[in-house]
Amino acid sequence: MLDAQLMELLSQRLAAAAERVRGVRSNETLSDLDFALAGICRVLSKSRSGREWLQCDELFDIARSTFFDALKSTRRGNVIGELARCFTADLAEVMKMGGVDFISDIPKLADVEVIAVDGHEIEHPQHAAKNEKGKFTSVKTIYQM
């Protein structure tokens, strides 16, 4: 489970980002903001699956069907995607203002904005931009270190 202070900060930052996103709903069993926060907590958890996380998490009381149905919603996917873009932009600005740059010493990443690290293999689409060496260089890329 995440620290209460971190949860409060995440909630505040998500709410601030949501003010710039159209279509955010809060009158559902699982509001868009709660779903986004739950998603962040799920990713940061040590659970091996979403189902395990739902069973073990003490902060959110979300029915399994509610959570997984929400994952399939096109509307919610669009809203969460836009919310993530706003949240990421805000976070990047805060980190820049604070002089936080954990990867500045890695030459290959000098011109790339890196927000998250993930262990999944990423396949670039054929239409993704290429650098001068002909290698794919997406605008947003996830690197594993």
Domain co-membership, 35 together with 24:
yes
Domain co-membership, 70 together with 124:
no
- pLDDT given at position 103: 74
Q: How confident is the model at residue 117 (pLDDT cuts 50, 70, 90)?
A: very low
Domain co-membership, 107 together with 75:
no
Domain co-membership, 69 together with 24:
yes
Domain co-membership, 96 together with 108:
no
Domain co-membership, 111 together with 134:
yes
Domain co-membership, 94 together with 139:
no
- pLDDT given at position 145: 46
- pLDDT given at position 1: 53
Neighbours of 35 (CB within 10 A): 22
What's the pLDDT tens digit per position in 3-50?
788 889 889 999 999 999 999 998 778 899 999 999 888 888 888 888
Number of domains making up the chain: 2
What's the pLDDT tens digit per position in 60-101?
888 888 888 888 999 999 999 999 999 989 988 888 888 877
* Listed residue (36, 37, 60, 64) closest to 50, CA to CA: 64
Domain co-membership, 22 together with 38:
yes
Q: How confident is the model at residue 126 (pLDDT cuts 50, 70, 90)?
A: low
Q: What angle do CA 13, 18, 23 make, to 5 degrees?
A: 165
Domain co-membership, 82 together with 125:
no
**Amino acid letter, residue 62:** I
pTM, two decimals, is 0.66
Domain co-membership, 63 together with 14:
yes
Higher pLDDT, 126 or 16: 16
Domain range enclosing 132: 102-145
Domain co-membership, 72 together with 108:
no
Mean pLDDT calculated for residue range 105-114 = 76
Domain co-membership, 86 together with 126:
no
